[in-house]
Structure 1
Amino acid sequence: MPGPGAPSLIEQLAAAIADHIRRSTLSAGERLPERQLAEKFRVSRTPVREALRLLADRNVVGRQTGRGYVVAERSRSADEGTPGVVASEPSLPEEESAYLRIAEDRFAEQLPERITERELIRRYGLSRAALQRVLQRMLHEGWLERLAGYGWAFTPILTSAQSYQQGYRLRIIIEPAAILEPTFMVDEATLRHCRDVQRDLVGGAIATVSPAQLFDANSALHEAIVGFSGNAFMLDALQRLNRVRRLIEYRKSVDRQAAAARCREHLELIDLLLAGDLEAAADFLRLHLRTAARLKAQS
Protein backbone atom coordinates (compact mmCIF):
# COMPACT_ATOMS: atom_id res chain seq x y z
CA MET A 1 0.00 0.00 0.00
CA PRO A 2 1.27 3.55 -0.67
CA GLY A 3 2.77 5.19 2.37
CA PRO A 4 1.87 8.62 3.74
CA GLY A 5 2.20 11.31 1.09
CA ALA A 6 2.42 8.80 -1.75
CA PRO A 7 0.05 9.10 -4.71
CA SER A 8 -3.08 6.92 -4.63
CA LEU A 9 -3.55 4.09 -7.11
CA ILE A 10 -5.86 6.29 -9.22
CA GLU A 11 -3.33 9.15 -9.22
CA GLN A 12 -0.53 6.75 -10.18
CA LEU A 13 -2.62 5.26 -12.97
CA ALA A 14 -3.64 8.73 -14.18
CA ALA A 15 0.04 9.74 -14.33
CA ALA A 16 0.89 6.56 -16.26
CA ILE A 17 -1.93 7.14 -18.77
CA ALA A 18 -0.89 10.78 -19.24
CA ASP A 19 2.69 9.66 -19.83
CA HIS A 20 1.48 7.04 -22.32
CA ILE A 21 -0.41 9.75 -24.24
CA ARG A 22 2.62 12.05 -24.32
CA ARG A 23 5.00 9.32 -25.47
CA SER A 24 2.65 7.84 -28.07
CA THR A 25 1.72 9.00 -31.55
CA LEU A 26 -1.92 9.48 -30.55
CA SER A 27 -3.53 12.51 -32.16
CA ALA A 28 -5.89 15.02 -30.57
CA GLY A 29 -9.44 13.66 -30.65
CA GLU A 30 -8.35 10.02 -30.82
CA ARG A 31 -10.34 7.67 -28.58
CA LEU A 32 -8.90 6.18 -25.40
CA PRO A 33 -10.75 2.85 -25.00
CA GLU A 34 -11.02 1.77 -21.38
CA ARG A 35 -10.55 -1.89 -22.27
CA GLN A 36 -7.25 -1.30 -24.07
CA LEU A 37 -5.91 0.86 -21.25
CA ALA A 38 -6.95 -1.73 -18.68
CA GLU A 39 -5.07 -4.43 -20.61
CA LYS A 40 -2.01 -2.23 -21.05
CA PHE A 41 -1.70 -1.33 -17.38
CA ARG A 42 -2.98 -4.69 -16.09
CA VAL A 43 -5.83 -3.31 -14.03
CA SER A 44 -9.60 -3.53 -14.21
CA ARG A 45 -11.67 -1.01 -16.14
CA THR A 46 -12.99 0.65 -12.96
CA PRO A 47 -9.71 2.34 -11.92
CA VAL A 48 -9.07 3.24 -15.57
CA ARG A 49 -12.42 5.00 -15.69
CA GLU A 50 -11.60 6.89 -12.48
CA ALA A 51 -8.15 7.84 -13.77
CA LEU A 52 -9.61 9.13 -17.05
CA ARG A 53 -12.16 11.18 -15.10
CA LEU A 54 -9.28 12.69 -13.11
CA LEU A 55 -7.35 13.47 -16.30
CA ALA A 56 -10.46 15.05 -17.83
CA ASP A 57 -10.70 17.35 -14.81
CA ARG A 58 -7.09 18.36 -15.52
CA ASN A 59 -7.78 18.86 -19.26
CA VAL A 60 -5.33 16.14 -20.24
CA VAL A 61 -8.12 14.18 -21.93
CA GLY A 62 -11.53 15.26 -23.18
CA ARG A 63 -15.03 13.79 -22.99
CA GLN A 64 -17.12 13.32 -26.11
CA THR A 65 -20.73 12.19 -26.06
CA GLY A 66 -21.00 8.66 -27.40
CA ARG A 67 -17.20 8.26 -27.73
CA GLY A 68 -16.03 8.28 -24.14
CA TYR A 69 -12.65 9.84 -23.49
CA VAL A 70 -10.36 11.20 -26.19
CA VAL A 71 -6.91 12.75 -26.38
CA ALA A 72 -7.02 16.49 -25.71
CA GLU A 73 -5.02 19.07 -27.62
CA ARG A 74 -1.37 18.83 -26.64
CA SER A 75 -0.03 21.78 -24.70
CA ARG A 76 3.37 23.23 -25.49
CA SER A 77 4.48 22.61 -21.93
CA ALA A 78 4.14 18.87 -22.51
CA ASP A 79 7.03 18.89 -24.96
CA GLU A 80 9.60 19.93 -22.37
CA GLY A 81 11.11 22.55 -24.66
CA THR A 82 11.89 20.26 -27.60
CA PRO A 83 9.43 20.75 -30.47
CA GLY A 84 7.89 17.51 -31.69
CA VAL A 85 9.67 15.30 -29.17
CA VAL A 86 7.05 13.88 -26.86
CA ALA A 87 8.44 13.62 -23.34
CA SER A 88 7.22 12.53 -19.97
CA GLU A 89 6.50 14.85 -17.07
CA PRO A 90 9.57 17.02 -16.45
CA SER A 91 11.69 15.14 -13.93
CA LEU A 92 13.52 16.75 -11.07
CA PRO A 93 17.32 16.30 -11.40
CA GLU A 94 17.39 13.90 -8.43
CA GLU A 95 14.68 11.74 -9.99
CA GLU A 96 16.40 11.56 -13.39
CA SER A 97 19.69 10.74 -11.69
CA ALA A 98 18.08 8.03 -9.57
CA TYR A 99 16.27 6.60 -12.61
CA LEU A 100 19.55 6.26 -14.54
CA ARG A 101 21.36 4.83 -11.50
CA ILE A 102 18.66 2.19 -11.04
CA ALA A 103 18.86 1.36 -14.76
CA GLU A 104 22.65 1.02 -14.56
CA ASP A 105 22.51 -1.08 -11.38
CA ARG A 106 19.82 -3.29 -12.91
CA PHE A 107 21.86 -3.82 -16.04
CA ALA A 108 24.98 -4.60 -13.97
CA GLU A 109 22.92 -7.14 -11.96
CA GLN A 110 23.59 -5.23 -8.73
CA LEU A 111 19.89 -5.25 -7.86
CA PRO A 112 17.87 -8.36 -6.99
CA GLU A 113 15.03 -9.38 -9.27
CA ARG A 114 12.55 -8.51 -6.52
CA ILE A 115 12.85 -5.39 -4.40
CA THR A 116 10.79 -3.27 -2.01
CA GLU A 117 10.18 0.45 -2.02
CA ARG A 118 11.88 0.71 1.37
CA GLU A 119 15.04 -0.82 -0.06
CA LEU A 120 14.98 1.55 -3.04
CA ILE A 121 14.46 4.60 -0.80
CA ARG A 122 17.38 3.57 1.37
CA ARG A 123 19.65 2.83 -1.59
CA TYR A 124 18.91 5.89 -3.72
CA GLY A 125 17.93 8.50 -1.14
CA LEU A 126 14.62 9.48 -2.72
CA SER A 127 11.49 10.66 -0.96
CA ARG A 128 8.56 8.25 -1.20
CA ALA A 129 6.68 10.58 -3.58
CA ALA A 130 9.73 10.97 -5.84
CA LEU A 131 10.29 7.22 -5.83
CA GLN A 132 6.66 6.66 -6.85
CA ARG A 133 7.18 8.85 -9.91
CA VAL A 134 10.35 6.97 -10.85
CA LEU A 135 8.62 3.61 -10.35
CA GLN A 136 5.67 4.68 -12.51
CA ARG A 137 8.05 5.66 -15.27
CA MET A 138 9.78 2.26 -15.16
CA LEU A 139 6.41 0.51 -14.95
CA HIS A 140 5.20 2.35 -18.05
CA GLU A 141 8.42 1.56 -19.93
CA GLY A 142 7.96 -2.13 -19.19
CA TRP A 143 11.08 -3.08 -17.24
CA LEU A 144 9.41 -3.19 -13.84
CA GLU A 145 6.25 -4.92 -12.62
CA ARG A 146 4.23 -4.51 -9.45
CA LEU A 147 3.99 -7.74 -7.45
CA ALA A 148 0.54 -8.92 -6.46
CA GLY A 149 1.44 -8.87 -2.78
CA TYR A 150 4.27 -6.55 -1.81
CA GLY A 151 7.12 -4.95 -3.68
CA TRP A 152 8.29 -4.84 -7.27
CA ALA A 153 9.92 -7.21 -9.76
CA PHE A 154 12.27 -6.35 -12.59
CA THR A 155 11.43 -7.88 -15.95
CA PRO A 156 14.04 -9.68 -18.12
CA ILE A 157 16.42 -7.47 -20.11
CA LEU A 158 19.10 -7.96 -22.74
CA THR A 159 22.47 -8.21 -21.01
CA SER A 160 24.89 -9.48 -23.66
CA ALA A 161 26.17 -8.37 -27.04
CA GLN A 162 24.98 -11.67 -28.49
CA SER A 163 21.38 -11.23 -27.30
CA TYR A 164 21.45 -7.62 -28.48
CA GLN A 165 22.43 -8.71 -32.00
CA GLN A 166 19.82 -11.47 -31.92
CA GLY A 167 17.25 -8.78 -31.16
CA TYR A 168 18.31 -6.83 -34.23
CA ARG A 169 18.13 -9.95 -36.38
CA LEU A 170 14.57 -10.49 -35.21
CA ARG A 171 13.73 -6.90 -36.13
CA ILE A 172 15.27 -7.38 -39.58
CA ILE A 173 12.87 -10.31 -40.09
CA ILE A 174 9.73 -8.76 -38.61
CA GLU A 175 9.72 -5.09 -39.55
CA PRO A 176 10.19 -5.25 -43.35
CA ALA A 177 7.76 -8.20 -43.48
CA ALA A 178 5.15 -6.12 -41.63
CA ILE A 179 5.16 -3.57 -44.47
CA LEU A 180 4.40 -6.35 -46.96
CA GLU A 181 1.48 -7.78 -44.97
CA PRO A 182 -1.72 -7.79 -47.08
CA THR A 183 -3.49 -5.83 -44.33
CA PHE A 184 -0.85 -3.07 -44.16
CA MET A 185 -2.45 0.38 -44.18
CA VAL A 186 -0.72 3.63 -43.32
CA ASP A 187 -2.33 5.93 -40.78
CA GLU A 188 -1.23 9.21 -42.34
CA ALA A 189 -1.87 11.35 -39.26
CA THR A 190 0.29 9.09 -37.12
CA LEU A 191 3.06 8.87 -39.70
CA ARG A 192 3.11 12.62 -40.29
CA HIS A 193 3.40 13.18 -36.54
CA CYS A 194 6.38 10.79 -36.50
CA ARG A 195 7.86 12.72 -39.40
CA ASP A 196 7.56 15.98 -37.45
CA VAL A 197 9.41 14.38 -34.53
CA GLN A 198 12.21 13.10 -36.78
CA ARG A 199 12.50 16.48 -38.54
CA ASP A 200 12.90 18.22 -35.20
CA LEU A 201 15.63 15.77 -34.21
CA VAL A 202 17.50 16.30 -37.49
CA GLY A 203 16.94 20.05 -37.17
CA GLY A 204 18.95 20.28 -33.95
CA ALA A 205 17.06 18.57 -31.13
CA ILE A 206 19.31 15.52 -31.54
CA ALA A 207 22.05 17.47 -29.74
CA THR A 208 20.09 17.90 -26.52
CA VAL A 209 17.60 15.04 -26.13
CA SER A 210 18.34 12.38 -23.54
CA PRO A 211 19.04 8.74 -24.52
CA ALA A 212 15.58 7.88 -23.16
CA GLN A 213 13.86 10.54 -25.31
CA LEU A 214 15.79 9.43 -28.39
CA PHE A 215 14.89 5.79 -27.78
CA ASP A 216 11.22 6.69 -27.29
CA ALA A 217 11.04 8.81 -30.45
CA ASN A 218 12.65 6.17 -32.66
CA SER A 219 10.91 3.14 -31.17
CA ALA A 220 7.55 4.96 -31.51
CA LEU A 221 8.15 5.28 -35.27
CA HIS A 222 9.17 1.65 -35.73
CA GLU A 223 6.26 0.38 -33.63
CA ALA A 224 3.83 2.60 -35.54
CA ILE A 225 5.01 1.16 -38.86
CA VAL A 226 4.66 -2.42 -37.65
CA GLY A 227 1.28 -1.51 -36.17
CA PHE A 228 0.08 -0.42 -39.63
CA SER A 229 0.38 -4.08 -40.68
CA GLY A 230 -2.73 -4.98 -38.72
CA ASN A 231 -0.82 -8.03 -37.47
CA ALA A 232 -1.08 -7.94 -33.67
CA PHE A 233 1.50 -10.71 -33.25
CA MET A 234 4.18 -8.77 -35.13
CA LEU A 235 3.50 -5.64 -33.11
CA ASP A 236 3.50 -7.54 -29.82
CA ALA A 237 6.85 -9.15 -30.68
CA LEU A 238 8.44 -5.77 -31.44
CA GLN A 239 7.00 -4.10 -28.34
CA ARG A 240 8.29 -6.93 -26.12
CA LEU A 241 11.71 -6.68 -27.72
CA ASN A 242 11.83 -2.91 -27.25
CA ARG A 243 11.02 -3.32 -23.57
CA VAL A 244 13.90 -5.71 -22.95
CA ARG A 245 16.44 -3.79 -25.03
CA ARG A 246 15.76 -0.37 -23.49
CA LEU A 247 18.43 -0.56 -20.79
CA ILE A 248 21.18 -1.83 -23.06
CA GLU A 249 20.42 1.09 -25.39
CA TYR A 250 20.89 3.50 -22.48
CA ARG A 251 24.39 2.09 -21.92
CA LYS A 252 25.42 2.51 -25.54
CA SER A 253 27.43 5.65 -26.13
CA VAL A 254 25.21 8.07 -28.05
CA ASP A 255 26.96 9.10 -31.26
CA ARG A 256 24.85 12.17 -32.04
CA GLN A 257 26.11 12.39 -35.62
CA ALA A 258 25.26 8.73 -36.31
CA ALA A 259 21.90 9.17 -34.56
CA ALA A 260 21.10 12.14 -36.80
CA ALA A 261 21.97 10.04 -39.86
CA ARG A 262 19.52 7.35 -38.73
CA CYS A 263 16.85 10.00 -38.25
CA ARG A 264 17.43 11.24 -41.79
CA GLU A 265 16.97 7.66 -42.96
CA HIS A 266 13.73 7.57 -41.00
CA LEU A 267 12.54 10.57 -43.00
CA GLU A 268 13.35 8.77 -46.27
CA LEU A 269 11.46 5.71 -45.05
CA ILE A 270 8.45 7.81 -44.10
CA ASP A 271 8.40 9.47 -47.53
CA LEU A 272 8.39 6.04 -49.23
CA LEU A 273 5.49 4.91 -47.07
CA LEU A 274 3.49 8.07 -47.70
CA ALA A 275 4.10 7.63 -51.43
CA GLY A 276 2.72 4.10 -51.21
CA ASP A 277 5.92 2.45 -52.46
CA LEU A 278 5.77 -0.43 -49.99
CA GLU A 279 8.28 -2.80 -51.60
CA ALA A 280 10.90 -0.06 -51.73
CA ALA A 281 10.07 0.90 -48.14
CA ALA A 282 10.51 -2.70 -46.96
CA ASP A 283 13.89 -2.97 -48.74
CA PHE A 284 14.98 0.38 -47.33
CA LEU A 285 13.96 -0.59 -43.78
CA ARG A 286 15.84 -3.88 -44.02
CA LEU A 287 19.03 -2.05 -45.05
CA HIS A 288 18.48 0.61 -42.38
CA LEU A 289 18.25 -2.03 -39.63
CA ARG A 290 21.28 -3.94 -40.89
CA THR A 291 23.35 -0.76 -40.91
CA ALA A 292 22.14 0.23 -37.44
CA ALA A 293 22.94 -3.24 -36.08
CA ARG A 294 26.47 -3.07 -37.46
CA LEU A 295 27.12 0.41 -36.07
CA LYS A 296 25.62 -0.39 -32.67
CA ALA A 297 27.83 -3.50 -32.43
CA GLN A 298 30.86 -1.22 -32.72
CA SER A 299 29.71 1.27 -30.06
Structure 2
Amino acid sequence: MRNEQAPQPSSLQIEIANQIMDMIRGGGVGPGEHLTEAVLAKRYGVSRSPVRAALKMLQDRGYLEARANAGVFVSKRVPRMRLDALENPNPTADDLYHSIITDRAGGKLQKALSETELMARYGAPKSVLMHALLRLTREGLIRRRRGHGWQFLPALDSEEALYEAYRFRMVIECAALREPTFKIVPEELASARRRYEDFLARSPRAQTSSAFFEMNSAFHEMLMRFSGNRFIVQAMQQQNQLRRFEEFSSYSGPNRNVIESCKRLLQIIAAIEAGDNVFAEALMLRHLKIACALSIGRRQAPSAVARDAG
Protein backbone atom coordinates (compact mmCIF):
# COMPACT_ATOMS: atom_id res chain seq x y z
CA MET A 1 0.00 0.00 0.00
CA ARG A 2 1.35 3.42 -0.94
CA ASN A 3 1.93 5.81 1.96
CA GLU A 4 0.55 9.25 1.24
CA GLN A 5 2.38 12.15 2.80
CA ALA A 6 0.39 14.66 4.83
CA PRO A 7 -0.15 17.90 2.91
CA GLN A 8 2.39 20.61 3.63
CA PRO A 9 1.05 23.61 5.57
CA SER A 10 0.36 26.69 3.48
CA SER A 11 2.19 29.99 3.91
CA LEU A 12 -0.98 31.47 5.40
CA GLN A 13 -1.28 28.69 7.99
CA ILE A 14 2.37 29.08 9.00
CA GLU A 15 1.98 32.85 9.15
CA ILE A 16 -1.06 32.63 11.44
CA ALA A 17 0.74 30.11 13.66
CA ASN A 18 3.65 32.54 14.02
CA GLN A 19 1.27 35.42 14.77
CA ILE A 20 -0.35 33.36 17.53
CA MET A 21 3.12 32.61 18.90
CA ASP A 22 3.99 36.33 18.79
CA MET A 23 0.82 37.04 20.76
CA ILE A 24 1.82 34.45 23.38
CA ARG A 25 5.44 35.63 23.42
CA GLY A 26 4.38 39.26 23.75
CA GLY A 27 1.97 38.56 26.61
CA GLY A 28 -1.31 39.00 24.73
CA VAL A 29 -2.42 35.66 26.18
CA GLY A 30 -0.89 33.73 29.05
CA PRO A 31 -0.48 30.10 30.12
CA GLY A 32 -3.81 28.35 30.60
CA GLU A 33 -5.81 30.92 28.59
CA HIS A 34 -8.45 29.72 26.13
CA LEU A 35 -8.01 30.30 22.37
CA THR A 36 -10.96 30.09 20.01
CA GLU A 37 -11.04 29.78 16.23
CA ALA A 38 -13.72 32.46 15.91
CA VAL A 39 -11.83 35.12 17.88
CA LEU A 40 -8.52 34.40 16.13
CA ALA A 41 -10.14 34.34 12.68
CA LYS A 42 -11.64 37.78 13.34
CA ARG A 43 -8.35 39.09 14.76
CA TYR A 44 -6.34 38.05 11.70
CA GLY A 45 -9.04 38.65 9.10
CA VAL A 46 -9.18 35.08 7.77
CA SER A 47 -11.58 32.12 7.76
CA ARG A 48 -11.52 29.51 10.50
CA SER A 49 -9.84 26.84 8.34
CA PRO A 50 -6.28 28.28 8.36
CA VAL A 51 -6.68 29.14 12.05
CA ARG A 52 -7.67 25.54 12.81
CA ALA A 53 -4.59 24.27 10.96
CA ALA A 54 -2.34 26.78 12.75
CA LEU A 55 -3.66 25.73 16.15
CA LYS A 56 -3.01 22.09 15.28
CA MET A 57 0.61 22.88 14.33
CA LEU A 58 1.14 24.64 17.66
CA GLN A 59 -0.48 21.73 19.52
CA ASP A 60 1.91 19.32 17.78
CA ARG A 61 4.82 21.38 19.11
CA GLY A 62 3.45 21.41 22.64
CA TYR A 63 2.77 25.16 22.77
CA LEU A 64 -0.99 24.59 22.98
CA GLU A 65 -3.06 21.79 24.45
CA ALA A 66 -6.53 20.54 23.52
CA ARG A 67 -8.94 19.63 26.31
CA ALA A 68 -11.87 17.32 25.68
CA ASN A 69 -15.13 19.23 25.30
CA ALA A 70 -13.40 22.46 26.31
CA GLY A 71 -11.26 23.65 23.41
CA VAL A 72 -7.66 24.75 22.94
CA PHE A 73 -5.57 26.41 25.65
CA VAL A 74 -2.08 27.88 25.93
CA SER A 75 0.13 25.27 27.57
CA LYS A 76 1.09 25.97 31.16
CA ARG A 77 4.59 24.82 30.21
CA VAL A 78 5.03 27.75 27.79
CA PRO A 79 7.07 29.96 30.20
CA ARG A 80 9.69 27.19 30.34
CA MET A 81 9.70 26.58 26.58
CA ARG A 82 11.67 28.19 23.79
CA LEU A 83 9.11 29.57 21.33
CA ASP A 84 10.93 29.31 18.01
CA ALA A 85 9.14 30.70 14.98
CA LEU A 86 7.99 28.23 12.35
CA GLU A 87 10.00 28.51 9.15
CA ASN A 88 8.15 29.78 6.11
CA PRO A 89 9.90 29.42 2.76
CA ASN A 90 7.93 32.29 1.20
CA PRO A 91 7.51 35.96 2.15
CA THR A 92 4.38 36.36 4.23
CA ALA A 93 1.86 39.10 4.81
CA ASP A 94 3.28 39.40 8.32
CA ASP A 95 6.76 40.05 6.88
CA LEU A 96 5.30 42.64 4.53
CA TYR A 97 3.26 44.25 7.32
CA HIS A 98 6.40 44.78 9.42
CA SER A 99 8.38 46.02 6.40
CA ILE A 100 5.72 48.61 5.57
CA ILE A 101 5.54 49.84 9.19
CA THR A 102 9.33 50.00 9.50
CA ASP A 103 9.77 51.84 6.19
CA ARG A 104 6.94 54.29 6.93
CA ALA A 105 8.36 54.97 10.39
CA GLY A 106 11.78 55.53 8.83
CA GLY A 107 10.40 58.04 6.31
CA LYS A 108 10.99 55.72 3.34
CA LEU A 109 7.35 55.62 2.21
CA GLN A 110 5.20 58.51 1.05
CA LYS A 111 1.87 59.25 2.67
CA ALA A 112 -0.06 57.98 -0.38
CA LEU A 113 0.93 54.95 -2.46
CA SER A 114 -0.57 52.67 -5.09
CA GLU A 115 -0.70 48.89 -4.93
CA THR A 116 1.55 48.76 -8.02
CA GLU A 117 4.22 50.84 -6.25
CA LEU A 118 4.07 48.65 -3.16
CA MET A 119 4.26 45.39 -5.14
CA ALA A 120 7.26 46.71 -7.08
CA ARG A 121 9.03 47.88 -3.92
CA TYR A 122 8.60 44.67 -1.94
CA GLY A 123 8.37 42.09 -4.72
CA ALA A 124 5.22 40.65 -3.17
CA PRO A 125 2.26 39.11 -5.00
CA LYS A 126 -1.00 41.02 -4.81
CA SER A 127 -2.68 38.44 -2.56
CA VAL A 128 0.05 38.80 0.09
CA LEU A 129 0.07 42.59 -0.22
CA MET A 130 -3.72 42.81 0.20
CA HIS A 131 -3.59 40.68 3.36
CA ALA A 132 -0.97 43.04 4.83
CA LEU A 133 -2.94 46.14 3.80
CA LEU A 134 -6.14 44.78 5.32
CA ARG A 135 -4.32 44.20 8.61
CA LEU A 136 -3.00 47.77 8.54
CA THR A 137 -6.56 48.96 7.84
CA ARG A 138 -7.99 47.01 10.80
CA GLU A 139 -5.37 48.58 13.06
CA GLY A 140 -6.27 52.09 11.90
CA LEU A 141 -2.91 52.81 10.26
CA ILE A 142 -3.93 53.10 6.62
CA ARG A 143 -7.08 53.56 4.52
CA ARG A 144 -8.06 53.05 0.90
CA ARG A 145 -8.21 56.28 -1.10
CA ARG A 146 -11.14 57.21 -3.27
CA GLY A 147 -10.46 55.97 -6.75
CA HIS A 148 -7.29 53.96 -6.18
CA GLY A 149 -4.33 53.61 -3.88
CA TRP A 150 -3.81 53.74 -0.14
CA GLN A 151 -3.08 56.51 2.33
CA PHE A 152 -1.43 56.37 5.74
CA LEU A 153 -3.51 57.92 8.51
CA PRO A 154 -2.16 60.64 10.83
CA ALA A 155 0.60 59.47 13.14
CA LEU A 156 3.12 60.92 15.56
CA ASP A 157 5.25 62.21 12.71
CA SER A 158 6.57 65.45 14.21
CA GLU A 159 8.30 66.57 17.40
CA GLU A 160 5.29 68.66 18.37
CA ALA A 161 2.78 65.83 17.86
CA LEU A 162 4.98 63.39 19.78
CA TYR A 163 5.45 65.83 22.66
CA GLU A 164 1.73 66.60 22.88
CA ALA A 165 0.89 62.87 22.79
CA TYR A 166 3.18 62.17 25.74
CA ARG A 167 1.77 65.14 27.67
CA PHE A 168 -1.73 63.79 27.01
CA ARG A 169 -0.70 60.36 28.25
CA MET A 170 0.73 61.91 31.41
CA VAL A 171 -2.72 63.39 32.04
CA ILE A 172 -4.88 60.31 31.40
CA GLU A 173 -2.56 57.57 32.72
CA CYS A 174 -1.87 59.34 35.99
CA ALA A 175 -5.53 60.31 36.37
CA ALA A 176 -6.56 56.67 35.79
CA LEU A 177 -4.65 55.63 38.91
CA ARG A 178 -6.66 58.20 40.93
CA GLU A 179 -10.08 57.16 39.66
CA PRO A 180 -12.41 56.15 42.54
CA THR A 181 -13.49 53.18 40.40
CA PHE A 182 -9.88 51.94 39.95
CA LYS A 183 -9.79 48.24 40.75
CA ILE A 184 -7.12 45.76 39.73
CA VAL A 185 -7.60 42.21 38.56
CA PRO A 186 -4.76 40.53 40.50
CA GLU A 187 -4.32 37.68 38.02
CA GLU A 188 -3.97 40.08 35.08
CA LEU A 189 -1.51 42.30 36.91
CA ALA A 190 0.59 39.31 37.99
CA SER A 191 0.55 38.03 34.40
CA ALA A 192 1.77 41.42 33.14
CA ARG A 193 4.61 41.36 35.69
CA ARG A 194 5.68 37.90 34.51
CA ARG A 195 5.68 39.06 30.88
CA TYR A 196 8.13 41.88 31.64
CA GLU A 197 10.28 39.54 33.73
CA ASP A 198 10.28 36.95 30.94
CA PHE A 199 11.16 39.64 28.38
CA LEU A 200 14.16 40.75 30.46
CA ALA A 201 15.28 37.12 30.76
CA ARG A 202 15.32 36.60 26.98
CA SER A 203 18.40 36.73 24.81
CA PRO A 204 18.99 40.15 23.20
CA ARG A 205 18.03 38.70 19.83
CA ALA A 206 14.60 37.72 21.15
CA GLN A 207 13.91 41.20 22.61
CA THR A 208 12.30 42.42 19.40
CA SER A 209 10.58 45.74 18.80
CA SER A 210 7.27 44.09 17.88
CA ALA A 211 7.26 41.92 21.03
CA PHE A 212 8.07 44.92 23.23
CA PHE A 213 5.38 47.08 21.63
CA GLU A 214 2.63 44.46 21.93
CA MET A 215 3.54 43.71 25.55
CA ASN A 216 3.86 47.38 26.48
CA SER A 217 0.69 48.61 24.77
CA ALA A 218 -1.30 45.75 26.35
CA PHE A 219 0.01 46.72 29.80
CA HIS A 220 -0.92 50.40 29.51
CA GLU A 221 -4.36 49.54 28.14
CA MET A 222 -4.87 47.05 31.00
CA LEU A 223 -4.19 49.76 33.60
CA MET A 224 -6.69 52.04 31.88
CA ARG A 225 -9.30 49.25 32.04
CA PHE A 226 -8.65 48.97 35.77
CA SER A 227 -9.74 52.63 36.05
CA GLY A 228 -13.31 51.63 35.25
CA ASN A 229 -13.64 54.65 32.95
CA ARG A 230 -14.54 53.70 29.37
CA PHE A 231 -13.42 57.04 27.94
CA ILE A 232 -9.95 56.71 29.43
CA VAL A 233 -9.73 53.23 27.87
CA GLN A 234 -10.77 54.58 24.46
CA ALA A 235 -8.20 57.37 24.68
CA MET A 236 -5.44 54.86 25.48
CA GLN A 237 -6.46 52.62 22.60
CA GLN A 238 -6.19 55.58 20.23
CA GLN A 239 -2.77 56.46 21.61
CA ASN A 240 -1.57 52.89 21.13
CA GLN A 241 -2.60 53.04 17.48
CA LEU A 242 -0.78 56.34 16.97
CA ARG A 243 2.32 55.00 18.75
CA ARG A 244 2.80 51.99 16.50
CA PHE A 245 4.91 53.71 13.82
CA GLU A 246 6.91 55.62 16.44
CA GLU A 247 7.65 52.49 18.46
CA PHE A 248 8.84 50.53 15.45
CA SER A 249 11.22 53.31 14.42
CA SER A 250 12.43 53.89 17.99
CA TYR A 251 13.10 50.25 18.87
CA SER A 252 14.74 48.76 15.79
CA GLY A 253 16.50 46.22 17.99
CA PRO A 254 17.38 45.43 21.60
CA ASN A 255 18.80 48.43 23.43
CA ARG A 256 19.39 49.71 26.93
CA ASN A 257 16.42 52.10 26.86
CA VAL A 258 13.99 49.20 26.38
CA ILE A 259 15.55 47.29 29.28
CA GLU A 260 15.34 50.33 31.57
CA SER A 261 11.73 50.93 30.47
CA CYS A 262 10.82 47.37 31.50
CA LYS A 263 12.45 47.88 34.90
CA ARG A 264 10.54 51.14 35.50
CA LEU A 265 7.26 49.48 34.58
CA LEU A 266 7.98 46.61 36.97
CA GLN A 267 8.39 49.22 39.73
CA ILE A 268 4.96 50.63 38.84
CA ILE A 269 3.43 47.14 38.98
CA ALA A 270 5.04 46.50 42.37
CA ALA A 271 3.59 49.75 43.75
CA ILE A 272 0.10 48.90 42.48
CA GLU A 273 0.33 45.36 43.88
CA ALA A 274 1.25 46.91 47.24
CA GLY A 275 -1.85 49.12 47.06
CA ASP A 276 0.21 52.33 46.85
CA ASN A 277 -1.38 54.08 43.86
CA VAL A 278 0.04 57.46 44.93
CA PHE A 279 3.58 56.12 44.53
CA ALA A 280 2.55 54.28 41.33
CA GLU A 281 1.28 57.58 39.89
CA ALA A 282 4.58 59.32 40.68
CA LEU A 283 6.49 56.47 39.06
CA MET A 284 4.22 56.57 35.99
CA LEU A 285 4.74 60.30 35.57
CA ARG A 286 8.51 59.87 35.81
CA HIS A 287 8.43 56.96 33.36
CA LEU A 288 6.46 58.91 30.75
CA LYS A 289 8.70 61.97 31.10
CA ILE A 290 11.79 59.85 30.52
CA ALA A 291 10.17 58.06 27.56
CA CYS A 292 9.11 61.42 26.10
CA ALA A 293 12.60 62.91 26.37
CA LEU A 294 14.19 59.82 24.82
CA SER A 295 11.71 59.69 21.93
CA ILE A 296 11.98 63.35 21.08
CA GLY A 297 15.72 63.29 21.73
CA ARG A 298 15.98 61.21 18.58
CA ARG A 299 14.35 64.13 16.75
CA GLN A 300 16.26 67.02 18.38
CA ALA A 301 14.03 67.55 21.40
CA PRO A 302 12.91 71.09 22.26
CA SER A 303 14.31 72.55 25.47
CA ALA A 304 10.93 72.22 27.18
CA VAL A 305 11.11 68.46 26.85
CA ALA A 306 14.63 68.35 28.16
CA ARG A 307 13.50 70.27 31.24
CA ASP A 308 10.52 67.93 31.77
CA ALA A 309 12.81 64.91 31.88
CA GLY A 310 14.85 66.32 34.74
- Do both proteins adopt the same fold according to a TM-score greater than 0.5, normalized to the shorter chain? yes
2:166 maps to what in 1?
Answer: 168
1:177 maps to what in 2?
Answer: 175
Tell me if structure 1 keeps the 8 A contact 2:41–2:51: no
1:212 maps to what in 2?
Answer: 210
Distance 1:177 1:139 in 2: 31
Q: Which stretch of the first structure deviates more once superposed, 26-35 or 100-109?
A: 26-35
Shift of 1:282: 1.4
Shift of 1:283: 1.7
Distance 2:146 2:34 in 1: 30
Q: Which stretch of the first structure deviates more once superposed, 15-24 or 198-207?
A: 15-24
TM-score w.r.t. the length of structure 2 is 0.68
Aligned AA for 1:106?
R
1:154 maps to what in 2?
Answer: 152
- Paired residues in the alignment total 279
Distance 2:164 2:143 in 1: 24
Larger Rg: 2
Tell me if structure 1 keeps the 8 A contact 2:200–2:262: yes
Structure 2 counterpart SS, 1:169: helix
1:291 maps to what in 2?
Answer: 290
Shift of 1:281: 1.0
Shift of 1:182: 1.6
Structure 2 counterpart SS, 1:159: coil
Q: Percent identity?
A: 27
Aligned AA for 1:278?
N
Q: Are residues 80 and 50 of structure 1, via their aligned partners in 2, closer, same or farther at CA, if it must alter by over 3 Å? A: closer
Distance 1:64 1:182 in 2: 42
TM-score w.r.t. the length of structure 1 is 0.70
2:247 maps to what in 1?
Answer: 249
Tell me if structure 1 keeps the 8 A contact 2:271–2:279: yes
Cα offsets for 1:186-222 (capped at 9, x unmatched): 1222222221221133335456422222222222221
Aligned AA for 2:289?
R
Distance 1:191 1:173 in 2: 22
Distance 2:155 2:236 in 1: 14
5 Å matches for 1:37-186?
72-73=74-75, 80-81=83-84, 98-107=96-105, 108=107, 110-113=109-112, 115-116=114-115, 118-128=116-126, 130-132=128-130, 134-135=132-133, 138-139=136-137, 141-145=139-143, 152-186=150-184
2:308 maps to what in 1?
Answer: none
2:222 maps to what in 1?
Answer: 224
Distance 2:143 2:22 in 1: 16
